[in-house]
Amino acid sequence: MNSFEEKLNMLQNGDIEMLEISKEDFLAFRELLVKREDFKHFSGTAMQGGKIIYTYSQIARS
């Protein structure tokens, strides 16, 4: 299993509260993320320096 996929599953299951993705990994990560059925449950916040912090919500965004 892809390490990004593992981390997304951990975030979804509540094993971790947030997931930090570097700008260098963003495109590969996003490609995997948008293929998930629960894509709209993940929310990313851009931080200074280009990293993105992802969280998971039980309620899908619209």
* Separation between Cα atoms, residue 59 and residue 62, nearest integer Å: 9
Q: pLDDT tens, 7-38?
A: 999 999 999 999 999 999 999 999 999 999 99
Q: pLDDT tens, 36-61?
A: 999 999 999 999 999 999 999 999 98
DSSP string, 10-58: HHHHTSSS-EEE-TTTHHHHHHHHTTSTTGGGEEEEE-TTS-EEEEE-S
Residue 1 pLDDT:
55
pLDDT band at 3, cuts 50/70/90? very high
User: Is the CB of residue 54 less than 8 Å from the CB of residue 43?
Assistant: yes
2: pLDDT strictly greater than 80: no
